[in-house]
Amino acid sequence: MEIYRLPALSDNYIFLLFDAATQTAAVVDPAEPEPVLRQLQQLGATLTTIFNTHHHADHVGANRSLLQHFPNVMVYGSEVDRGRIPGQQVFLSENDRVAFAGREAHIYFLPGHTRAHIAYYFPPVMGDDWGELFCGDTLFAGGCGRLFEGTPQQMLTSLTKLRSLPDTTRIWCAHEYTLKNLEFAITVEGDNLALQERLRAVQAARQRDEATVPSTLGLEKQTNPFLRWDVAALQATANTTDPAQTFARIRGLKDQF
C-alpha cells in the first residue's frame, strides 16, 4: 500500500492509498476533487474507496464529484454520521474492520472534534514496520482538534485510545497546523527539550515549504501537550492534576492562542 499526500484547499491534506498490484486506489477525506483526479491519472489507477473520518466539508467536499467519475466507489464513514456524509454507503462503529490493498484497518470511534469522528488504523505488516493512522482532525502533529460537538472528557478518552498505539505509528493528520501547534505547545511546556528541538526543526522545514505530516506517535508522546495531560509540567500550567481538567484547560488556552 503506497500512500500519497495531496495538498488541498489552504492547509488540508488528502491521502491517496494505492494498490499497485490491482491498480486501484482509496482516498481518505477528499477535500476537493482535482488533486485526487490528477494523482489517479498519473498512477493509471481506478478509485474504489472513499474513507471519511467525519462530516466537515473540508473532508467530504469531493465525495459527490468523485462518485460521478467513479460510480462504483464505496463511501465509508461513521455510523453516527449517518445522513451527514455525501454518498455514504458503509456505516462504521468501534472495532469494525475495513480492507484495502490486502491490509485491514481497525476503526476507532473518536468523539470530541465532532460527535461522530472515527479513525482508520492499519497495523504494521511486520512487527518492525510502520502502522498507519488516518486520524482526520482528532490528533494533529503537535496538537488536537477543536471541540465542536464533543466534551473534553470525550476527547481525552479518544486521545487515550490513540496514545495506546505503538510509537512506530505514522500520524497522517488532515491539516498542516504543526508550526502553529508547536508555537503554542512551547508556551505551556517551555522546558521540554524534545519540544524545543522539534519546534526548531519544524520552523526550518516550513521555511523550506516542506510538509510536516506524517508525524509519528513516538514523537507526539514526547512533544504534543494534548497527549501529555499526566505530565507534571502541564498539570502545573493547568493548576490541576485531574486528567480531564488538565486537558480542558490546556485546550482552552490553545483556543485563545
Q: Which residues are catalytic?
A: 54, 56, 58-59, 113, 137, 175
Residue 102 has a CB neighbour count (10 Å cut-off) of 10
Determine whether 219 is exposed, middle or buried from the number of CB atoms within 10 Å of its CB (0-12, 13-18, 19+): middle
How far apart CA 175 and CA 183 sit, in angstroms, is: 16
Cα dihedral 218→117→129→227 (10° resolution)? 10
Q: Which are the contacts of 131, defined by CB distance < 8 A and separation ≥ 6?
A: 121, 122, 123, 124, 165, 166, 168, 169, 170
**Helix, strand, or coil (residue 99):** strand
